[in-house]
């Protein structure tokens, strides 16, 4: 459908006060931000401490992904699979038509053309988001290549349409609220056959920034399945050893499990260097040489603020020193930002404004910043932004890492025996839940490939697609696959591994393994390091960190067998064969 025809149709349905086609200019950003400051939505931060930056807070019930309200509306229910919510597309369209009728009354309807991926990459895609949220416009400006440049690349027959509304129409003379949303009526809906996205009722994060999880993962994963590539919830980093040799790794972890920290890691090993291509999403295609190449479809970071500090992630702290939007962190008296983990507050510290916009009481026992508080910032501000991040062909991937937050059982690192075994490791990922998704924190849940909330089709078919990708090239050219776990704890609940910059010691072993140099020992679950470079570290119990408890792993096998049954006949036989082989090795 031609873009103008679609815009006119949505405007007729939603009845906005006016329509604004975004050009993506800095002047446009500044004008919208200034209006949001006047209306009390944004608070400008101290220009001497955090220039060109803003603070805002959301509604208390609009703070994270809402997976229970997220739907894949494929024509057939079985194509959505057992891990996605599904409704019949016709039924859902009737629901959405009623919700969106007149939903933008009294508001501006913004039309946002944007590009996911480097502007001149053959692997990039164009989307257009229609929204009534100026907050979304500002964030999409940072997170994507948005405006005139994207519009010039738009092919009317192939852009991904997305419609978003906060779901709060304004009547004549009605005063708006700082964070309009409709928490009692939220819908984040994907129509994979039509490649369309509709979102209603939430103004937060991936529920509203439709280029992120909705397009770059849920819709893109269906495109990748059909077209023979991979759209993954993965960071991309460049790693250079002291000799100057550089390799690229991709890594998948559930949200808020250290992805951004790894993507911006400062190595503790002398002479090693890390550079960041992306911290969240990777689109991977095979090159003419048979290797897997990755681009980062995003242009910015929507990172978790709490826990980020100069100790845990100095590069992130330098990245957000200016031109950043902060959402749901605490506000200091002198108009700077604060969150748990940044620095210790003393009794004499000036008072804070909490993420709720109210005076913070330290005696309340509640956090000053919401655990899923975020910063939105351009990737190009990162001091270790990789010069190849804008390469239209992408960067060649030598290793893929999977991992989650596990207090026990899973060793610090181990290598798959081959590609199929690596796919099995990705399918077996489970992790303790975090604040990035609404619901109980700390419980263990399966999160295959860290894609549980983001796969746009039947995950059994997704597993089969990964196995098929391994048949597209030779084993020598495919990335090696690893499983890592930074989060093991001792009996007193203390972490066994220091993590952060010391994770470079694990990356060094992986780097050397891809060159057939690092030494490994076969175990029932995979290949373990014979040793790691622990120079300068004291008190590390490497034997425990790399131990394999056969009884615990037999329990993992039982758990996985029950989980895999969820996918019925859509589970590829290759994964069940890998599970049986694992059990056989454990029982020897």
> Hey, which residues are catalytic here?
257
Of 409, 355, 361, 351, the closest CA to residue 546 belongs to: 409
Cα–Cα distance for residue pair 337/63, rounded to 1 Å: 18
Tell me how far CA of residue 419 lies from CA of 232, 472, 476, 481, in angstroms.
17, 11, 10, 7
Q: Which two tokens stand for residue 343?
A: 């620095």
Q: Which two tokens stand for residue 33?
A: 């931000």
How are beta strands 125-131 and 160-165 bridged, if at all? Answer: parallel
Q: Which two tokens stand for residue 203?
A: 């103004």
Contact (CB, 8 A) for 259 and 251? yes
Residue 54 in 3-state DSSP? Answer: strand
What lies within 8 Å, CB to CB, of 241 at 6+ separation is 271, 272, 508, 511
Q: Which two tokens stand for residue 384?
A: 């270790």
Cα–Cα distance for residue pair 72/568, rounded to 1 Å: 19
Beta pairing partners, 522: 527
Cα–Cα distance for residue pair 553/430, rounded to 1 Å: 13
What lies within 8 Å, CB to CB, of 144 at 6+ separation is 114, 115, 116, 127, 150, 211, 298, 299, 300
Cα–Cα distance for residue pair 473/475, rounded to 1 Å: 7
Contact (CB, 8 A) for 207 and 188? yes
| Full 3-state SS string of 238-300 | EEECCCCCEEEEEEECCCCCCHHHHHCCCCCCCCCEEEEEECCCEEEEECCCCCEEEECCCCE
Question: In 10 A of CB 526, how many CB atoms?
Answer: 23
Angle (CA) 179-180-186 rounded to 5° is 120
Cα–Cα distance for residue pair 386/203, rounded to 1 Å: 31
- Determine what percent of the chain falls in helix, strand and coil, rounding each to the nearest 5: 30, 25, 45
What lies within 8 Å, CB to CB, of 149 at 6+ separation is 24, 115, 119
What lies within 8 Å, CB to CB, of 547 at 6+ separation is 411
């Amino acid at each position: 459908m031609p873009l103008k025809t679609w815009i006119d149709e949505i405007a007729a349905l939603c009845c906005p006060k006016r329509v604004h086609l975004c050009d993506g200019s800095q002047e446009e950003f500044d004008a919208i931000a200034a209006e949001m400051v006047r209306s009390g939505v944004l608070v400008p931060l101290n220009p001497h401490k955090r220039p060109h930056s803003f603070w805002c807070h959301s509604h208390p019930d609009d703070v994270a992904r809402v997976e229970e309200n997220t739907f894949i509306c494929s024509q057939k229910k079985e194509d959505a699979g057992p891990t996605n919510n599904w409704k019949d597309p016709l039924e859902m369209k009737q629901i959405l038509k009623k919700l969106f009728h007149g939903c933008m009354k009294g508001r501006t309807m913004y039309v946002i053309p944007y590009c996911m991926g480097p502007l001149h990459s053959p692997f990039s895609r164009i989307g257009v988001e229609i929204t009534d949220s100026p907050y979304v416009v500002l964030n999409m400006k940072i997170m994507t290549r948005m405006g005139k440049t994207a519009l010039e690349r738009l092919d009317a027959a192939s852009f991904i349409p997305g419609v978003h509304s906060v779901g709060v129409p304004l009547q004549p003379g009605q005063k708006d609220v700082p964070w309009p949303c409709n928490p009692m009526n939220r819908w984040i809906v994907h129509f994979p056959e039509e490649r369309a996205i509709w979102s209603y009722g939430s103004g937060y994060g991936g529920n509203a920034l439709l280029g992120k999880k909705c397009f770059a993962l849920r819709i893109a994963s269906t495109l990748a399945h059909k077209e023979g590539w991979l759209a993954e919830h993965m960071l991309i980093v460049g790693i250079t050893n002291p000799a100057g040799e550089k390799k690229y790794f991709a890594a998948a972890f559930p949200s808020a499990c250290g992805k951004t920290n790894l993507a911006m890691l400062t190595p503790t090993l002398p002479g090693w260097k890390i550079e960041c291509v992306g911290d969240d999403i990777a689109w991977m295609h095979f090159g003419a040489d048979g290797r897997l190449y990755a681009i980062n479809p995003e242009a910015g970071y929507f990172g978790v603020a709490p826990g980020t500090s100069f100790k845990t992630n100095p590069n992130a702290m330098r990245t957000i020193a200016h031109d950043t939007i902060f959402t749901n962190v605490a506000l200091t008296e002198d108009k700077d930002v604060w969150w748990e983990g940044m620095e210790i507050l003393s009794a004499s510290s000036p008072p804070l404004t909490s993420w709720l916009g109210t005076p913070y009481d330290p005696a309340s026992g509640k956090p000053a910043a919401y655990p899923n508080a975020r910063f939105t910032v351009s990737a190009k501000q990162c001091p270790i932004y990789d010069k190849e991040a804008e390469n239209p062909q992408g960067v060649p991937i030598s290793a893929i890492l999977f991992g989650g937050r596990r207090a026990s059982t899973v060793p610090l690192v181990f290598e798959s025996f081959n590609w199929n075994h690596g796919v099995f490791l990705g399918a077996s990922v489970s992790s303790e839940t975090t604040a990035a998704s609404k619901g109980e924190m700390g419980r263990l849940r399966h999160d295959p490939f860290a894609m549980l909330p983001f796969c746009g089709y039947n995950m059994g078919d997704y597993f089969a697609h990964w196995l098929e990708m391994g048949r597209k090239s030779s084993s020598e050219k495919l990335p090696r696959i690893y499983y890592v776990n930074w989060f093991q704890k001792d009996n007193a609940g203390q972490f066994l591994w220091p993590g952060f910059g010391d994770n470079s010691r694990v990356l060094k072993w992986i780097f050397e393994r891809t060159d057939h140099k690092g030494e490994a020992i076969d175990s029932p679950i995979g290949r373990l390091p014979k040793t790691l470079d622990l120079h300068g570290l004291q008190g590390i119990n490497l034997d425990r960190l790399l131990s394999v408890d056969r009884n615990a792993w037999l329990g993992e096998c039982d758990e996985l067998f029950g989980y895999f049954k969820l996918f019925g006949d859509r589970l590829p036989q290759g994964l069940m064969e890998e599970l049986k082989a694992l059990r056989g090795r454990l029982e020897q």
